[in-house]
Each structure stands twice: as structure tokens, then as C-alpha cells.
A and B are shown apart, each in its own frame.
Chain A
Amino acid sequence: MTELLKVQGLTKSYSDKGSWLNKSRTTVLDSISFTIEAHKTLAVIGETGSGKSTLARLLVGAEPASSGSIFLNGQELKSGSYKHRCQHIRMIFQDSGTTLNPSLTIKQLLDEPLKLNTSLDEKKRTELIRKTLQKVGLLGDHMNFYPHMFSGGQKQRISLARAIILQPQVIILDEALASLDPSLRSQMINLLLDLQQQMGLAYILISHNLGIIRHFSDEIMVLSLGKVIESGKTLEIMTKPQHKITQKLMMDQSFQLRAKKLKK
């Protein structure tokens, strides 16, 4: 499988705005490198402050990287050029309540990326919106609704529709499943798996929930204080974590998992 996304030496540091004289730089991400192939999922785990969200924002282009490069299908992505990047890398956020503009209908919401990035006419755009809504399990009629009329699970599906409407190749899920109820989470996971099969997407999953990660991801990358401390296949890392921090992250949940096994 050819590699879809290659990241090399990605670094991000902020200068401290504290004083005029001592300008210290805090490094949030330190030389991150990894690759992803199509149809594969990479899970990124780490404690709070380890830089996972910053990595997501750098990949999708919300912030410019201090150094390092991102290659998509062999081509380098320049920071600041949203038009090219947004057709290939898209992101779904955690809090679906604030990621949908409350004064636009779903149709206008999904129309915006199409208007800005494609040259389809009105009729074709409506048709594409209808098909995309059906793909994520909503009705075509829903495009006339406003976001406040939907439940949490449906709002996440609309975010997913907005992500896939431009036929991207990589989707970043920044804790997208954390706020959902368990049954809705399972439905969303099934939907994501189906879409991965159909469209050949690669996912970057940022999550705390080890159960989802075990089920959904092929590889894991463990971040701590901005550095990659361990990475490899999911099963290997979950059963034989090498680094101390990885062991601590695995321990809490697997303690419960193994305890349950004993109870049964």
C-alpha cells in the first residue's frame, strides 16, 4: 500500500508572551514523524498537554508549523493554503454543539465548502448534499433543518457529512466520539468503518477510550510532552507496552478489563 500521508520532523513552539526581555519558547511538539496508508487508522494517545490537539490542528492547517513538512501523496503541503489542503485532509471536532453554525440550515452549512472549492452548479450541489446526508444515515429532507433541532449523535453525523463532502483522503477525529452515548458511539464507529471501506479513507483518531482504540485502530502512537515515545501496531502496544508512560495509560483501563475477565 502506498503511503498516503507522511509527516517529517513536525515541530511547533510558541514564544512566551510574558516579558519583553526573556523571550523563552515553549515547545509543544518536538519533531514528530509518522506515515499513514489508505484504509488504515492511526490512534494518537497521551495525557492532557501532550500535544495531541496541537498535532491535529497542524495537520489540518489551522496553525502553521514552526518547522517540519507534511507530504500528501508525495506532494508537500504548504501552510496557509487552505484551498488545496481542505480537499484532502478534514477534521471532526469534539463538541458538536459549537461546530455547527446555529443560524444556517444544514443545506447552507454543507454548501459552503462546495461553493468555495468546487465549481458545481446549484442543482448538482443540492444533489451531492442529499447523497452525502443519506450516506451518513440522515434523510435528504434534513437539509432544511437548523442545527438546534438535532440530537447530539445526529450533529456528529452532520459534522461527518461536512468532512466527507469534499471526498478527502484523511480525516482527523479529535475526540469526536467522546461525548456520545455508548450506543450512538457504536453506530458512529460502524458508520466510520463503512466509509473507510467505501472511500479508502485514512483516519487519525485522537481519543482516551482504549476500548474504541483497540477495536478501531491499526497502529498507535503515544505522545508525551510533545515527543513520540512509542509507536507500533495496536495489539503489540496494548499487550506489551514498553515505555513507563504507556504502561501507566494502559494500566487503568486494562486493570478493569482483566478484572472483569477474572470475574467471569
Chain B
Amino acid sequence: MARDKIYLEEVFPSPFMQLWLVFRKTPVAMAGFSCFIFLIILAIFGPVLAPHSPVEGQLNMPLLPPAWHANGDVSYLLGTDELGRDMLSRLMYGTSLTFGLSFIVVIISLVVGVIIGSLSALTSGLKSSFLNHFLDVILSIPSLLLAIIIVAILGPGIDNTVWAVVMVLIPQFVHITRYAVKEEFRKGYVLASRLDGASPFRILYYSIFPNIVDRIMSQATLAQSAAILDIATLGFLGLGAQIPLPEWGATLANGLDLFYIAPWTVYLPGLAILFAVVATNLVGEGIRHALKVSKER
């Protein structure tokens, strides 16, 4: 062989790279993705960056409107609530509670769901059916109601909220993983791997998971927007984050009584929740769109 390199292409895009390239070209998805990254950074560094403490309020400065109002003060950029606590700091701390916890919730339920789903796909018959469906009872009850019931059993508090929402989200992952893995098993390369003498776990890890990760990720974004809303709602109802944790839903409930005199205490946490959910959904849409486009090729 005289020349080894004939093709001018230096880059050999793997299927992930291809997905990423398509994703990058969709401006809406990229906007959502950058907001998502912004929220993650805020969730991690929020406590460090917040200008004031979210729990100790300056009692002499209650109900200050946001800085762009006539009475506002620029050192309290988004105003204060009735106990003089800075809204901006509360929102930033709240990011790590609402958004950060929803992220953790999704990761835990993803891992548990994928493990159960893969076991269900590897076995067959009664065992497989059992693993697939034993958590389906969770699907029969609306997710919020179920979370309320679990919290009512375990008692209020943000850690119990986390367990409740995890329980609620697991069945979706079980089903999606089982379906995707079963579909992959029918493909020729899995048979070829098996004939080479690979153990089932090796097949799962090398041959199957790389090809189903994208589907699981798109399901994860759907689960995350549901998780954000569930955590916020439980906080709103008083069952989740307890006083004085600055979780967005709890903050919103707090400000509800004062809506006519201090509307910013209500609409600011509401906007934060909206922002997080929209960003997550845009990222999910971007992933699904990239999947569709790359499948068409």
C-alpha cells in the first residue's frame, strides 16, 4: 500500500458527534442548552455567589420592590420579601434546591430504572414480565398525588420529596430501557457479539448501551421537567421544602398572601420555574430532533 491516508477528512465523527453537530445547528436547542448549563452552574455555585443570606433577613427592609422600581435599592436587586430576605439570593439558593435536586432525582431514577429494565430485557418469561410491570402500579396514580401520598406517609421535608419523586419517575425508565434493549437484541451485531463469546453483560455494555443512550437521554429530559414541577408543587403545598429553605415553590407560596402589595415575591419565583422547565424542554426537543434527523440520513 503506497498511501495510507487517501481521504481528506481528518475527523471521523462517531454517532454521538453527529448528534452533537446536528444539535449545534439548531439555534433554539442551543439557546435552551446554554440556559440549561447556566442553571447548572448556578445550582452548583449559587450559594457562593449569592450577595446576601437567603435565610437571615434584614428586618428593617421588608418588602422592598425590585431595583427597577422607584423605591428599589440596587443592593437588593430583585427586592425583598416580608422578612427582609433578598429575593435574588433566595432564588439563587433555590436553584440548587429545585433544579439541582431535580437533576439528582432524575439521575437516581434513571440508574435504577435502567438496571431494572435491562434485567427485565435479559430474562424472559414470567421473571421478565414481573420486573417490567411490578412498578406499573405507580403509573396508575397521577404522579403528584402519589408524591403527596408518599410524603404524607414519610412526613414532610425536602429529602422525603426527593424519594417520592424518584419513585414516581422510575417506571418510565424501566419501560423505555426494556423496549430499547429488546429492540437492539434483534439486530445482527448483537448476535455476532454473542457468537464471539461475549457474556451478556459485555454485550449490554459495549454493543447495546451506546446505541440506546440517546433515547434514554431524551426521556430523561422529559422526566426532569416533570421533576422540577413536582418538587416545586410539593414545596408550594408545604409538603416539600420546609421553612426557611428557599425552594422556589415554597417561596412562591410564601408570597401568595402578599400578592397585591408585593407582586414580585410571586412572579419572580414563578418565572424562575418557567425558565427552568422551558430550558429543559428545549434541550429535550433538540435531542429528539437531532435523533430524527440523523436517523433520516
Contact = CB atoms under 8 A, between A and B. Distances in A.
Are A and B close enough to touch in the complex, i.e. CB under 8 Å?
A: yes
B152 interface: no
A136 to B, nearest CB: 13
A74 interface: no
Interface in A56-104: 60-62, 82-83, 86, 90-91, 93, 95, 98-104
Contact of A100 (B5, B189, B191, B194): B189
A1 interface: no
A82 B194 CA distance: 8
Interface residues of A, number: 33
B128 to A, nearest CB: 15
A149 interface: yes
A98 B189 contact: yes
Given A98-B189, A103-B16, A61 B195 contact: yes
Interface string B176-193: 000000000001110111
Given A101-B211, A148-B15, A149-B12, A62 B191 contact: yes
Interface in A17-67: 60-62
A86 B210 CA distance: 25
Contacts of B193: 101, 112
Contacts of B14: 103, 105, 146
Nearest to B196: A113
- Candidate in A83, A90, A112, A113 with the most chain B CB atoms within 10 angstroms: A112
B261 interface: no
B195 A82 contact: yes
Interface in B1-28: 1, 4-7, 12-16
B191 A139 contact: no
A263 to B, nearest CB: 41
B12 A144 contact: yes
Contact of A93 (B1, B6, B188, B207): B188
B244 interface: no
B151 to A, nearest CB: 41
Contacts of A82: 194-197
A139 B193 CA distance: 24
Given A101-B207, A102-B15, A112-B206, A86 B4 contact: no
A140 B194 contact: no
B15 A112 contact: no
Contacts of B197: 82-83, 86, 113, 116-117
A134 interface: yes
Contacts of A91: 195
A162 interface: yes
B67 interface: no
B15 A146 contact: yes
A105 B206 contact: no
Nearest to A148: B15
A99 B189 contact: yes
Contacts of A101: 189, 193, 206-207, 210-211
A55 to B, nearest CB: 15
Contacts of B7: 141
A100 B6 CA distance: 23
A162 B206 CA distance: 17
Given A141-B5, A148-B15, A149-B12, A98 B195 contact: no
Interface in B209-236: 210-211
Contacts of B195: 60-62, 82, 86, 90-91
Contacts of A105: 12, 14
Interface string B194-208: 111110000000110
A155 to B, nearest CB: 11
Contact of B210 (A83, A98, A100, A104): A104
A145 interface: yes
Contact of A103 (B12, B194, B210): B210
A86 B189 contact: no
Contacts of B1: 134, 139-140
A162 B192 contact: yes
Nearest to A144: B12
A103 B211 contact: yes
Nearest to B202: A116
A202 B211 CA distance: 35
A109 B6 CA distance: 22
A108 B12 CA distance: 14
Interface in B157-172: none
Interface of A: 60-62, 82-83, 86, 90-91, 93, 95, 98-105, 108, 112-113, 116-117, 134, 139-141, 144-146, 148-149, 162
Closest CB pairs A-B (n = 5): A99-B188, A103-B210, A82-B197, A113-B196, A101-B189
Given A112-B206, A139-B4, 11 more contacts: A82-B197, A83-B197, A93-B191, A95-B188, A99-B187, A101-B211, A103-B14, A104-B206, A116-B198, A139-B6, A148-B15
